[in-house]
Amino acid sequence: MVNIYVCDVVSEECAGHQLHHLLNLLPSWRREKALSYKYEIDQYLCARVFMLLQEGLSRDYGIKDDIQFSYNSNGKPFLINHPEIHFSLSHCRKGAACAISRIPVGIDIEEIVYDDDLAKFVLSEDDYKDVIASSHPAESFTTAWTEKESYLKMLGWGIIDNLKELDTQKACFSTIIERERGYVMTLCSKEKRELKIHFSGVKGVKDK
């Protein structure tokens, strides 16, 4: 089982209204990380995706103690007190997502966009042809991009130089295209597992 916790970003204005409340709910080390971002929307996303992790650990594993990260040699975070639990975090201007499981996972959520220069840079020639021939090139490109990102995150790697040659054929992907919400979300794991998706809100906060 892989549990995925997701939240939408209604607007940058709403995110700004919620930010102060969210920051007060974070442990000091995560608050400092959030505040290291220049823009309020990025501070909000950093806070919100961490709260998704808190929610998932509490609901799925009964873990309510303070969360502490350490990092592997490539910078992938893991839980110091619960290294047997794997997680992956991602956010974009449209939403945030957290995947939690007993097996290594990677998740990526991206706004649906099409950038031809980026597509040529990261896709193989065949994949690029498939994207531009698609009836929805933006969705096809964003799906291909999230597959590569989630695969790298599952392995615990950073971005590599030659994404065109990245072989993802042995991985298992589950992709959700949310047209109305404006994003694509892809989960990657080494083996197929059942998914359960939870849409999350913030207690004590009302959109303005």
Adjacent-strand bridge partners of 98: 5, 89
The pLDDT assigned to 14 comes to 79
Other C-beta atoms closer than 10 Å to the C-beta of 87 total 24
Q: How confident is the model at residue 60 (pLDDT cuts 50, 70, 90)?
A: very high
Phi, psi of 30 (to 5 degrees): -75, -35
Classify 156 in phi/psi space as left (phi over 0), alpha (psi -120 to 50) or beta: left
Assign 152 to helix, strand or coil.
helix
Is residue 207 over pLDDT 60? no
Report the C-alpha gap between 206 and 154 in whole angstroms: 34
Report the C-alpha gap between 80 and 102 in whole angstroms: 15
Give the global pTM.
0.92
pLDDT digits (tens, 9 = 90+) for 101-136: 999 999 999 999 999 999 999 999 999 999 999 999
Only one residue has tokens 């956010």, namely: 91
pLDDT digits (tens, 9 = 90+) for 32-53: 999 999 999 999 999 999 999 9
pLDDT digits (tens, 9 = 90+) for 187-202: 999 999 999 999 987 5
Report the C-alpha gap between 56 and 63 in whole angstroms: 9
Give the E-state strand segments of the chain in sequence order: 2-8, 69-71, 77-79, 86-92, 95-101, 105-111, 172-178, 183-189, 195-199
- CB contact set of 89 (below 8 Å; sequence gap of 6+): 49, 50, 52, 53, 77, 96, 97, 98, 107
